[in-house]
Amino acid sequence: MPFPSNKLTRLQTAIFLSLAFIYLLSSQAIQAQDKDSLPPLPVVNLNEVVLEAKVIFGSKFEAKNRTGSSYYISPEEIQRFNYTDVTRTLRAVPGVNVYEEDGFGLRPNISLRGTSPERSAKITVMEDGVLIAPAPYSAPAAYYFPTIARMQAVEILKGSSQVQFGPYTTGGAINMITTEVPDQFGAMLNASYGSFQSSRLHTQLGDSRKYFGYSVEYLNYNSNGFKNLDNGGDTGFDKNDLVAKFRLNINPDGKTKQALELKLQYSDESSDETYLGLSQEDFEADPFRRYASSAEDLMETEHSQIALTHVLDFSQYFRITTTAYRNNFKRNWYKLNDLTLNGERVGIASILEDPAAFPAFYDVVRGDVDSPNDALALKNNNREYLSTGVQTKLDLHWAGEKTFHDVEVGIRYHYDEEDRFQWVDDYALVDGVMNLTTAGIPGTDANRISDATALATFAMYKIKTGNLTLSPGVRYENIRLGRVNYGSSDPERTGANLSERENRVDVFIPGVGFNYNFERLSVFGGIHKGFSPPGNQEGQVPEESINYELGTRFGFGGLSGEVVAFFNDYSNLLGSDLAATGGTGSLDQFNAGEVNVGGLELLLNYDLLANNSKYRLPITFAYTFTDTEFQNAFGSDEDLWGEVAAGDELPYISRHQWNAGISFEHDRYALNFNARYAGAFRTQAGSGPIPSDEEVASNFVLDFGGKYLLNEHISLTANVINLLDETYAVARVPAGLRPGHPFGIYAGIALRY
């Protein structure tokens, strides 16, 4: 069963924070009425000191002037559609390839420039510049991902611009930027309600004084779900997210300025989510059906973070930033794993992949026939994660007569671990109802601890002379990966049957980028080494590649954009055995040999009413072409790969995808439309026409977002997901076909002070 939780109830939390919000607004109003009798408190703008310490480039202007490809999702872009699903936000970025799973973006699968998208395990994900995956080195699969609805901005780095950030340097890095401590008192409340009884409550308030600032933020979003469980029941989720920041400004009037900021974060989630999808036949009949055999499936998670950041500004030319951090994450995904009939055991992925081969098992999964006792095995995928470390970055820049120099040097000591303590409960399915017949003993399934210790350093030197900017850099990673396996027969962990293994790797990751500015365009490019850590099997080598990019940024009249060609030459691609891709879930990695990934990224921006002072009509268009090809043949037991031949394509990567947005904006209102197309992709490595049972077909989805300002403090919002009510499949993993989010409409109100 899922682990015990001491979560606040949604109603209690909402009432408490709403009352606190009203109280603080009232208090501020009273203080404002008495302002003539009180001395004014100085408001000091220290955003530059703290904000820049946590961002990589921090604006669209900086993103457009880097020596490598990058993209900045601004606060305005995030607020345009009020998405809670990060995959819908990221689709607007060229080079980003995602596939959905649950329709709400709870556990996104993100690829950058053709990296394996499964659980976003092959990209570096950060929050405020800190690694945020549950265990980035030892177990990087992102069963936790920061909530986009509480983010202020998002930064995406690709190409040579990511050498400072690791350990994954092949495709790119994503940095989620949380709400900053405001310069002066401010508060907001954003609430909405709509289809499938989905609701959101988001509140935030904060203030700054000369020596102290704070921000407190709470978010709850939930839904009853859009799938229909046989015999009834919810198929949705409920998620809470709380963040508090406290900043102390030390010596703000002195020559050497300092700031100390404490960040505290807590979130929990309860989702009625399952790995069990549908067979092809059942998906075509009713794509939103959920089999009765998944009625007990439940994912429960808790995540917490504490981060302490110290910024030391010696002058406008010299800064040292240090952050100590600790992330804790625990989760138990209680879900149907396999069936046993007449002594034969078959996994759910195999059953739904070929129902004709397992007709008796298929009938039980669908609930068409009653099962014997202990026929259905539900696994408690109970795991706890720790990710902790300290990182320091030195930034020194100076200017000569005709040159500008910038040196960044950083070091990070990091430790993470995954503790698996799992067990299996057995059920019978009778009259469409799941009945527990044998309770398992905790620790009698997977019972092991994987860990990693890593020392990472980097140095980057940027020199700008005239119109030319060069940025050579190098990263070094020294990593120890280990595993201690107590075994399923030792749930007390006495060590009687202990087995251990260890792997070590150290690697230099060089890169260089350039940018040359002409009058209305610039040319940029670079070459760098791609790297992903290996597994903890002794002697396993890491994933390595040489990555190239060449592009141009331009602006002619009202038209601006970017075109980039990229090529990643893998000498050793690594695959992972994930249950999320139909595997066993061991997380063991295996070598997939040489692979070439190349493509083209296009971004265009144009305002049709650029010369109109009253209205704006901005249009954006993003297109990504990705071509993948294995250079050698190999065999794999992993369902995602199977038997691979030279010339085969990577699975789960669309060859063509595009995203287009158009907005009609006025100072009082805005109407926003976003259209996206995702090309068909294969679910197993292969070449030529995609077999129907290995294909996820292309889809076209249109979203809408609107806002109307009643006054400077109050606005009304409306959002429509999947405006044309397109019915489409998003994946065939973890087990069977899964649908995308159907038509959903949501109305809300936003208050700002």
**How many CB atoms lie under 10 A from the CB of residue 496?**
10
Q: What mean pLDDT is predicted for residues 636-651?
A: 79
Instruction: Give the whole-angstrom CA distance, residue 407 versus residue 319.
Output: 11
Q: Which residue has the tokens 């933020």?
A: 217
> Mean pLDDT for the chain?
91
Instruction: Give the whole-angstrom CA distance, residue 389 versus residue 413.
Output: 5
Residue type at position 470:
L
Q: What mean pLDDT is predicted for residues 697-714?
A: 98
pLDDT at 59: 86
Instruction: Give the whole-angstrom CA distance, residue 567 versus residue 599.
Output: 7
pLDDT at 638: 57
Q: Are 296 and 235 in contact (CB under 8 A)?
A: no
Q: What mean pLDDT is predicted for residues 716-740?
A: 98
The set of residues, in sequence order, having a beta carbon less than 8 Å from that of 386 and lying 6+ positions away, is 135, 326, 327, 328, 415, 416, 417, 419
3-state per-residue secondary structure call for 699-712: EEEEEEEEEEECCC
Q: In what order do the strands lie in the sheet with 130-131?
A: 70-73, 151-158, 172-178, 124-127, 130-131
Please indicate, yes or no, whether the overall pTM of this predicted structure exceeds 0.85: yes
Whether the predicted pLDDT of 2 surpasses 90: no
pLDDT at 9: 45
The CA-based angle 129-242-54, given to 5 degrees, is 15
Instruction: Give the whole-angstrom CA distance, residue 329 versus residue 340.
Output: 32
C-alpha pair distances (Å), 119 with each of 139, 359, 652: 11, 31, 12
Q: How many helices, marked H, and strands, marked E, lie in the chain?
A: 8, 38
C-alpha distance across the termini of the chain, in Å: 44
Closest CA to 111 of 681, 525, 641: 681
Q: What are the beta bridge partners of residue 546?
A: 529, 569
Instruction: Give the whole-angstrom CA distance, residue 469 versus residue 524.
Output: 9
Q: What mean pLDDT is predicted for residues 289-295?
A: 98
Dihedral class, residue 665 (left if φ above 0, else alpha if ψ from -120 to 50, else beta): beta
Closest CA to 410 of 338, 458, 345, 357: 458
pLDDT digits (tens, 9 = 90+) for 562-606: 999 999 999 988 866 555 555 555 556 656 789 999 999 999 999
- List for the chain the helix, strand, coil content (%; round to 5): 15, 55, 35
The set of residues, in sequence order, having a beta carbon less than 8 Å from that of 211 and lying 6+ positions away, is 248, 249, 252
pLDDT digits (tens, 9 = 90+) for 519-547: 999 999 999 999 999 999 999 999 999 99
- Residues 10-489+507-752, CATH architecture: Beta Barrel (2.40)
User: DSSP assignment, residue 51?
Assistant: H
Where in the chain are the domains? 10-489+507-752
pLDDT at 593: 82
